[in-house]
A = this chain, B = another copy of it.
Amino acid sequence: MSETERPDPSAFSCPAPLSNLSEVQLGHGGGGRLSKTLVEELFVAAFDNPHLNMLHDGAVLDLGGKRLAFSTDSFVVHPHVFPGGDIGSMAVHGTVNDLAMCGADPLGLSAAFILEEGFAMEALVRITASLREAAKAAGVHVVTGDTKVVDRGKGDGVYINTSGVGLIPDGIDLAPQRAQAGDVVILSGEIAAHGIAVLSVREGLSFETDLVSDSAPLNGLTRRVLDAGGADVHVLRDPTRGGVASALTEIATAAGVGVKLDERAIPLDDGVRGACELLGLDPLYVANEGKCIAIVAPEVADAALAAMRADPLGAKAAIVGEVVEDHAGEVRARSTIGGERIVDMLSGEQLPRIC
């Protein structure tokens, strides 16, 4: 299994040319095109193997009959506490949702804390309690962990990595590549709430209505959808960093299909819409932490939509588009005023440290 010779450091070289930026930019973590370049040119090139699925929500490992989903996510959201959640609850939701998008029932989470010297113990206690409550609500245990402390000025209070494992039941077959012409695109509810909530508290903005993050565990909702649609559910994806636009563009690229969106059908809270207009943000690019895109065969679209709506987190679910043969790799949206526009991936960074 192991070779005990230490690799020769002089043999280290990156197998692919990296983007010509000489330094890491904030946009490399933004979930858009710059992130994708870094991941594809550096990490995918370096770690190339049949299981690697760094652009997607998790890897699927074959345990001889059983399929294990395995996912990881670090959380660096700033500020740590925002309307509707905090870095602790989000660290649970993010990884539970990644497992759920693989079709897996979560078996266990890890929690690894990178603490900055001087961080208030009281804040750590609250964040830990929040993480615990979120895990309980998602029906999953934190089973292993790690704590590191870095010196003052080398962190930002607390960063949390959660990884998760879960088993994928038989009869489930999810992959972005399975999106095919004729499939129906369903969205589980109103978009853009998380990004706007974090931004509003970070920038001290106040709006007429309270803007609250949608951060929530989706494993109950996805279980309902999979029970309703089985193998005719082709793709599940949570549109986090980069928003609905980036998630759908990635799927369209992976599957070599086009996606037609009907913007008028996309659920959007009036307060969030107003905030986006004021801030000049396109809600299609704003992060969500409790929403799910399902791409399903047309035969099961009504059943999948009904299943989502039966879940409290999917009450406002709607059919928002379809998969087409045309314009492969591209998402096009019929706008609210009737025109059609190309919805590309986020190119750089819209809102840094949103998750």
A residues near B, CB below 8 A?
1-7, 9, 11-14, 18, 21-30, 35, 38-39, 42-43, 46-47, 49, 51-54, 58-59, 61, 63-64, 66, 68, 70-76, 84, 86, 89, 105-108, 110-122, 124-126, 128-139, 141-151, 153-156, 159, 161, 163, 165, 167, 216-221, 223, 311-313, 352-353, 355
Contacts and interface: CB of A to CB of B under 8 A. Distances in A.
Contact of A26 (B133, B144, B151, B216): B151
A125 B20 CA distance: 12
Given A1-B219, A29-B115, A72-B111, 11 more contacts: A3-B138, A3-B220, A5-B312, A7-B133, A12-B130, A12-B133, A23-B117, A59-B110, A61-B108, A61-B165, A110-B163
Nearest to A144: B59
Contacts of A111: 43, 47, 72
Nearest to A15: B129
Interface-centre pick from A9, A46, A51, A137 (highest chain B CB count, 10 A): A46
A352 B72 contact: no
Contact of A4 (B47, B156, B312): B312
B73 A137 contact: no
A7 B38 contact: no
Contacts of A39: 145, 147
Contacts of A49: 141-143
A106 B155 CA distance: 31
Contacts of A18: 121, 125
Contacts of A144: 51-54, 58-59, 70-72
